[in-house]
Amino acid sequence: MINLFKKSTISSEENINSVVLIYSQILELPISKEGLRKAIDEHPDYPSMLAVYDVFAKFGANVYAAQIDGDKLKEIKQPFIAQIESPNTFYEIFTVVKNLDDKKVCYYDPEKTLWIETETTSFLEIYKGVGLVVNGETVTPEADYENKRRSEKNNAIRAWASILSFPLLFIVIVLFYWIFQGAINYWFTLYSLLSFAGAIICCLLIWFEIDSHSPLLMRVCSGKRSNCNAILNSEASKVFGVSWSAIGFTFFTSQLLTFVFSSFDMDISWSMGWLGLLGTPYIVFSIYYQWRVARQWCPLCLSIQAVLALQAIIFIVAGGLATNPITALAANDIIIIVSIFLLVFLLAYWGVPTLRTAKEAGHFKNNFQRLKHNGEVFNSLLMRQKGFSGDIEGLGITLGKPDSQNKIIKVCSPYCDPCAKAHPSIDEILRLNPDVQVQIVFTSRNSERDYKAVPVKHFMAIASRNDEELTRSALHYWYTSPSKNYTEFASKYPVSDTDLQEQGKKLDEMWLWCNHAGILYTPTFFFNGQQLPDIYDIDDLKYMLT
């Protein structure tokens, strides 16, 4: 019988994110992973096909989304994104189809994170009739794309180095004592390896507590009667307010650290074995609870029980029952062991809530961004903002479409750091939106005592040539230059002294308008005659204009 209430092994958010990222990589689009993730996460209709459409369109791609009959799929450009019914859970999910012909189809299974090759007829049985195609040739490279990609690669290398550093260090230490000192008992070498495996599994359990929608963990925990969530969120999952995952992490990690810091001292190793033996009743409790009470199984929990059972067997076979764990330990050994266990416990006790809070904060931030980018919310807040007085026609520098209904006014200063940081966003809005006008007004006075007047006059002289490409290039060069060196700027974009002198009146007009408009700080942004609400910045307008 079909289980109509079977949960998907991947959340809709993870599904959209993974499909968009994979599709972007196949097309080799010049968009960083972080830029793509941020754009999709903050879309007001996330997660949906509309969000996918808008995000690719935002980066300048020609996007085509429509209801497409199954017999017409082979006629559209490949690869493409399609909506299918999950063959595992019967939920509707998105996938990437790499290639499709009359006989075979290769598509991505986001639940198994595998590429599946099957017969086209089988695929069409789960295809839901919705497809999306992106023409990657029209995509505009993301601002600072090369540096962002380089940073992502470096971060990935550092992450893997951090993950692999401890096991590699442990192996090196084991080999050192084994080869050069012959001091390691074979049984306890195996015992310590099991401690390492237990620590890794407990890390996965803690990860599940923090992010239960992780695709990797959901695959591990999926099955006919498998439900890690039911066990890890049950009443029996904690003792005195501390989760068994944190206790397990403390136990196995502290064992491992004790072995290493004691140079695999045999007396201390036997004591760790006795401590593990005392934990064997938990095996019976956990299995009974999953079997008879919850009637669900947690594969990760069962793995921990297996590790504990194997450690107990090794301890007994190695002759551990014949040892005395109390008389064998010196006072300083006991202090070191207790200190290690206490420090690791505090790390787990305080670290897990901190990571969970950080995860929730990111979730709430994304929800807030999606709310901000909702057109109705934005327009409602915008209408409550103050407008400006005075005629602004012809003031400053005007870029973009002359008769556009979408008008952005940026009031800024040439030496203002926030103004400089906002300028790449202005460039991006102009590059990606053909129906937008940007008017830049400067707050500089026409006075020799105002050091800001000289570069502003230079900007205005360049703009007076009516060469928008040159003007945008000059402004980009100035605002992205760390030094803001006027001499260098003037040599790259020369103008005559006469042209500079003719700009004085324009500075007077801009200064007068800024006073009438009540400009208090730079940059100040106006959109369609209203000042941008405080919770919005110029980056947010990119979403309003798509």
Whichever domain contains 78, its CATH number is 3.90.70.10
Q: CATH number for the domain including 452?
A: 3.40.30.10
Do 444 and 539 fall into the same domain? yes
Least confident of 69-83, 226-240, 414-428: 226-240
Looking at residue 223, what is its pLDDT?
Answer: 60
Query: What is the b/e burial string over 339-357, where b = at least 16 CB atoms within 10 angstroms of the residue's CB?
Result: ebbeebbeebbeebeeeee
**Sorting pLDDT into bands at 50, 70 and 90, what band is 1?**
very low
Residue (of 135, 77, 88, 74) closest to 116 by Cα position: 88
The average confidence (pLDDT) of the chain is 85
140 within a domain of the structure (yes/no)? no
269 within a domain of the structure (yes/no)? yes
Pairing type for strands 238-239 and 242-243 reads: antiparallel
7 within a domain of the structure (yes/no)? no
Do 390 and 530 fall into the same domain? yes
* Predicted confidence (pLDDT) at residue 239 exceeds the cutoff of 80: yes
30 within a domain of the structure (yes/no)? yes
Cα-Cα end-to-end distance for the chain: 46
Q: Using the 3D structure, point to which of 135, 169, 196 is the last residue of a domain.
A: 135
167 within a domain of the structure (yes/no)? no
Tokens of 346: 């505090």
Contact 429, 435 (CB under 8 A): no
Do 330 and 392 fall into the same domain? no
153 within a domain of the structure (yes/no)? no
- In angstroms, the CA 8 to CA 201 distance is 23
**Sorting pLDDT into bands at 50, 70 and 90, what band is 494?**
very high
Q: Find the mean pLDDT for residues 431-452.
A: 91
Do 349 and 404 fall into the same domain? no
Do 292 and 418 fall into the same domain? no
Do 283 and 414 fall into the same domain? no
159 within a domain of the structure (yes/no)? no
177 within a domain of the structure (yes/no)? no
Crossing angle (nearest 10°) for helices 266-278 and 299-317: 130
Looking at residue 413, what is its pLDDT?
Answer: 95
Q: Estimate the share of the chain in helix, then strand, then coil, as percent rounded to the nearest 5.
A: 60, 15, 30
Do 207 and 348 fall into the same domain? yes
Q: Find the mean pLDDT for residues 334-356.
A: 88
Do 320 and 200 fall into the same domain? yes
Q: Find the mean pLDDT for residues 208-219.
A: 70
Q: Find the mean pLDDT for residues 358-365.
A: 74
- In angstroms, the CA 222 to CA 164 distance is 27
Using the 8-state DSSP alphabet, how is residue 138 labeled?
Answer: G
* Predicted confidence (pLDDT) at residue 18 exceeds the cutoff of 80: yes
- In angstroms, the CA 309 to CA 14 distance is 36
Looking at residue 213, what is its pLDDT?
Answer: 65
pLDDT tens digits for range 516-546:
988 989 999 999 999 999 889 898 887 777 6
Do 201 and 350 fall into the same domain? yes
Q: Using the 3D structure, point to which of 336, 365, 394 is the last residue of a domain.
A: 365
How deeply is 361 buried, as exposed, middle or buried, from its count of CB atoms within 10 A (0-12, 13-18, 19+)? Answer: exposed
- In angstroms, the CA 266 to CA 424 distance is 63
* Predicted confidence (pLDDT) at residue 7 exceeds the cutoff of 60: no
The residue range of the domain holding 28 is: 12-135
**Sorting pLDDT into bands at 50, 70 and 90, what band is 2?**
very low
Q: Find the mean pLDDT for residues 19-30.
A: 91
Looking at residue 222, what is its pLDDT?
Answer: 63
- What does pTM read for this prediction? 0.63
Using the 8-state DSSP alphabet, how is residue 305 labeled?
Answer: H
Do 242 and 307 fall into the same domain? yes
Contact 345, 241 (CB under 8 A): no
Do 391 and 251 fall into the same domain? no
Looking at residue 180, what is its pLDDT?
Answer: 58
- Tokens 């097309």 sit on residue: 27
Do 498 and 404 fall into the same domain? yes
Looking at residue 4, what is its pLDDT?
Answer: 37
Contact 234, 298 (CB under 8 A): no
* Predicted confidence (pLDDT) at residue 460 exceeds the cutoff of 80: yes
* Predicted confidence (pLDDT) at residue 492 exceeds the cutoff of 90: yes
Pairing type for strands 437-442 and 530-531 reads: unpaired
Q: How many domains are there within the chain?
A: 3
3-state secondary structure 315-360: HHHCCHHHCCCCCCCCHHHHHHHHHHHHHHHHHHHHHHHHHHHHHH
Q: Using the 3D structure, point to which of 365, 397, 427 is the last residue of a domain.
A: 365
**Sorting pLDDT into bands at 50, 70 and 90, what band is 13?**
confident
How deeply is 159 buried, as exposed, middle or buried, from its count of CB atoms within 10 A (0-12, 13-18, 19+)? Answer: exposed
- DSSP characters for 506-517? HHHHHHHHHHHH
Tokens of 482: 């760390």
Is the model more confident about 441 or about 139? 441
Q: CATH number for the domain including 192?
A: 1.20.1440.130
